[in-house]
Amino acid sequence: MEGEGKQLKRLLEKAEWTDEEQSWLLNYLEYSDGLELEKLMKGYFKKAHNADELIRRLQSNDTSAFDIIFKNYEPAVFNNIMKITRNESATTLIVHEVFVSLWEVRNNISSEKVLSGWLFAKGYGKAINYLTMDLKKKLGN
């Protein structure tokens, strides 16, 4: 439970929530699960920003669009990777690698659905690679 509290705090610090929204969200989350939080974050992102416009700006090398995407997707990507690795420092490194890769392939992302799917698939793949390498190290291979 303590790990979830840390993750929630991290999510709340990253998102642009008002104090009242943060208070409501904390109360709400006491009675829900992590999936509900991801749904809330995605809903907030769509309301606050036109995803297609952000992707168009990202493809035009607009770093402020990248910053907005990072700020809104990083918490969910972090949580998903953390569930796999169970290692905060490895997860942080993997998340940064995922977003560096996003910048490198930004011209291949065509919609918000493609973006979110790509981020989660890339994070999953990198987390599995981390676990494989970590296991090989432990086994001495």
Structural domain count of the chain: 1
Distances (CA, A) of 102 to 24, 52, 110, 132: 32, 16, 12, 23
Dump pLDDT digits (tens) for 41-62. Answer: 555 555 556 778 889 999 999 9
Dump pLDDT digits (tens) for 81-137. Answer: 999 999 999 999 999 999 999 999 999 998 877 888 899 999 999 999 999 999 999
Give 17: exposed, middle or buried? Use CB within 10 Å, 0-12, 13-18, 19+.
Answer: middle
**Per-residue pLDDT at 70:** 93
DSSP 5-50: HHHHHHHHHHS---HHHHHHHHHHHTTS-HHHHHHHHHHHHHHHS-
Residue 75: φ, ψ to 5°: -60, -45
**Per-residue pLDDT at 77:** 94
Tell me which residue range forms the domain holding 101: 2-139
Q: What is the CATH number of the domain that holds 28?
A: 1.10.1740.10
**Per-residue pLDDT at 140:** 86
